Structure 1
Amino acid sequence: MKNIVFIAALLFFGFVNAQAFQGKGDQKLQVGANFQDEATGINVTYDYGLGENISVGLSSSYALGVDDVMADLTDFGDRFDLKARFNANLGNVINIDPNFDLYPGLSLSLKNFGGHIGARYFFSDGFGIYTEAAFPLAKYDDNVDFFYNQFTFNIGASFNL
């Protein structure tokens, strides 16, 4: 129950306080923690604006804190993931705050084809926070359910480059 309350609080904080996407040529770098079943890790995301409400990018994650049982069964390839991303940046469409951006999107990774929804808020021109939830839509191998073929939750800092 504590985990559910903690995640709900993080999601609420992330959606209430999260950054505006400014359009073509806009670049965002996000660095944060990755939470999932049986592991925690780090996540780095880079997004580049193609138009007023469209961005593409790359995301990479690595599972660090693996449960003892899983640690013996996994190697680098099981812990690492790289994704190509497409986002629809809706911050200026929903007009909650000029510094807020809500972005649903799709990703194609080394492990699966998936979707994500995230939010970010910039406190200044260059620094903010973000939260993102990702989920698989199609797995490449149904027999492997290690770290990235499941729901993941990310939270961290966002930088406007």
Structure 2
Amino acid sequence: MKKVILLVVLLSVSFVNSQAFIGSGDNKFQVGANFQDNGSGLNLSYDFGIGQNISVGFSSTYLLGVDDALKNNANDDLNAGFDNRFDIRARFNANLGNVVNIDENFDIYPGLSLGLKNLGGHLGMRYFFTEGFGIYTELNTPFAKYKTEKLTPAEKLHNQFTVNVGASFNL
């Protein structure tokens, strides 16, 4: 009986064990909040592992809350339409969780993204509490904006430093 209980406990522990990134074939879906100057919204992302430490995917953000009147100049309205509130990006990540080896449930992933507004980079971190559920945060910044002349306040949305925070799921 003791051997049966020990076997059940060992099998249970092995099912609870989670990894943040397992390599080729890994699927991650993330949903969270996006925060930036003059707006906040919803961020969705999906990553698919194509190598031991490499994943590709997409990320999309829609700003739900946009400050209509800018705080620093109440006469300058933001006037952000759908095209200014929405952004979608193709992304490439270098998943370095097993390289830095902090915890097998922790992944850190720097990456590049090519979106509707710019070419940018991000630094993300995620931690899984169980096999299927974890939390994430990403810091995003543009490297090259498509519009080189002065941006209107609405065009600055998604063309600035942003932060995403939310839940991550293994699929």
Q: TM-score surpassing 0.5?
A: yes
Identical positions, percent = 65
CA distance in 2: counterparts of 1:74 and 1:94, whole angstroms: 41
User: How many pairs were matched up?
Assistant: 143
Question: Residue by residue, what CA displacement relative to the aligned partner does 1:43-67 show, whole Å, maximum 9, x if unpaired?
Answer: 0000000011000000000011110
Partner of 2:132: 126
Counterpart position of 1:11? none
Using the alignment, how far apart are the partners of 1:86 and 1:48 within structure 2?
10
Structure 2: state its 5+ residue gaps.
Answer: 1-18, 71-76
Structure-2 residue corresponding to 1:42: 42
For the residue of structure 2 that corresponds to 1:62, the secondary structure is strand
1:69 deviates by: 1.6
In structure 2, give the amino acid aligned to 1:86: F
Contact 2:67–2:78 (8 Å) recurs in 1: no
Q: In structure 2, what is the equivalent of residue 160 of structure 1?
A: 170
Q: Does residue 137 of the first structure (1) align with residue 147 of the second (2)?
A: no
Q: Which moved more, 1:62-71 or 1:134-143?
A: 62-71
1:22-33 matched pairs, under 5 angstroms = 22-33=22-33
Amino acid corresponding to residue 50 of structure 2 in structure 1: L
Write the deviation string for residues 102-123 of structure 1: whole angstroms up to 9, x where unpaired: 0000000000000000000000
AA partner of residue 146 (structure 1): K
Q: Show the counterpart of 2:121.
A: 115
- The alignment partner of 2:69 has SS state of helix
Cα distance in 1, alignment partners of residues 30 and 86 from structure 2: 17
RMSD: 1.2
Q: Identify which of structures 1 and 2 has the higher relative contact order when contacts are C-alpha pairs closer than 8 Å and 6+ apart.
A: 1
Is the Cα contact below 8 Å between 1:20 and 1:92 reproduced in 2?
no
Task: Look up the match of 1:75.
Answer: 81
Could you tell me how far apart the structure 2 residues matched to 1:66 and 1:148 are? 12
In the alignment, what sits opposite 2:96?
90
Aligned AA (1:120): R
C-alpha distance in 2, partners of 1:20/1:52?
A: 12
Which aligned segments of 4 or more residues in structure 1 are displaced greater than 6 angstroms? none
Segments of structure 1 that go 5 or more residues without pairing to the other structure are 1-18
